[in-house]
Amino acid sequence: MGRRERNKQQKLERITAAATELFSRYGVDEVTTQQIADHADVGTGTVFLYAKSKAELLLLVHNVKFADAIETGVAVASGTPDELDALMAIVRPIVHCNRVQIENGRTYLRELVFGDPEEPHHREGLALSARVEAAFVDVLRRGDRISETDAAELARAISAVMFISITATVYRALSDDEVVGVIRDQVAVMLGGRAEGGRGAGTAGSTA
């Protein structure tokens, strides 16, 4: 890597670190791009070279956390024989990742749905969402008890339930474990007779 490339990488790292710290401390809505630039000791124009908007900055920062959460969940799921428990092993770290700072998580997921898919950090976030669905499919396809097409459809439904439960205002006051319980209850219904797990910890599962 040449000096110019190293300089660019160092600036990106400073911008990412500054955005991570400020978003975590104050929440994305309370932080300006100028504050991030000042904290990273770069010009505002430099920030926009790496992310065209504050929303893209959030995607840049949160994609790293999302990716780590997915890999953590997949690793646990691989050693979990029960189907429902394995699915929840994937869900649990994703729920936690997106609720450390609830408004940041909600904004991140909203950007994935409604943001510009042509933006590079948005594309990366969508690829991570597809990775989640692929992980669900891997669990659902154990033993070839369900077709690949049906597993993909069910994985999309589980993913939708998970993201809606994370972002829904009605669940905002619940703990992470309670949100996972809400998701577990709904996924158990989707799985029907193939799921052996009982009801989860969600107190609001009956209203989901």
Per-residue pLDDT of the chain (208 residues), as tens digits, is 688 888 888 998 999 999 999 998 998 889 999 999 999 999 999 999 888 888 889 999 999 999 999 999 999 999 999 999 999 999 999 999 999 888 888 889 988 888 888 888 999 999 999 999 999 999 999 988 899 999 999 999 999 999 999 989 999 999 999 999 999 999 999 998 554 444 444 434 433 3
- Asked if 180 contacts 91 with a C-beta cutoff of 8 angstroms, the reply is yes
How would CATH label the architecture of 1-50? Orthogonal Bundle (1.10)
How would CATH label the architecture of 52-207? Orthogonal Bundle (1.10)
Predicted structure pTM score: 0.83
Task: Give me the long-range contacts of 110-119 (CB less than 8 A, separation at least 24).
Answer: 110/167, 111/55, 111/58, 111/59, 112/59, 115/55, 115/56, 115/59, 119/52, 119/56, 119/59
Q: What angle do CA 26, 58, 72 make, to 5 degrees?
A: 100
Q: What are the structural domain ranges in the chain?
A: 1-50, 52-207
Secondary-structure breakdown of the chain: helix, strand, coil percentages, each rounded to the nearest 5: 80, 0, 20
Asked if the domains at 1-50 and 52-207 fall in one CATH topology, the answer is no
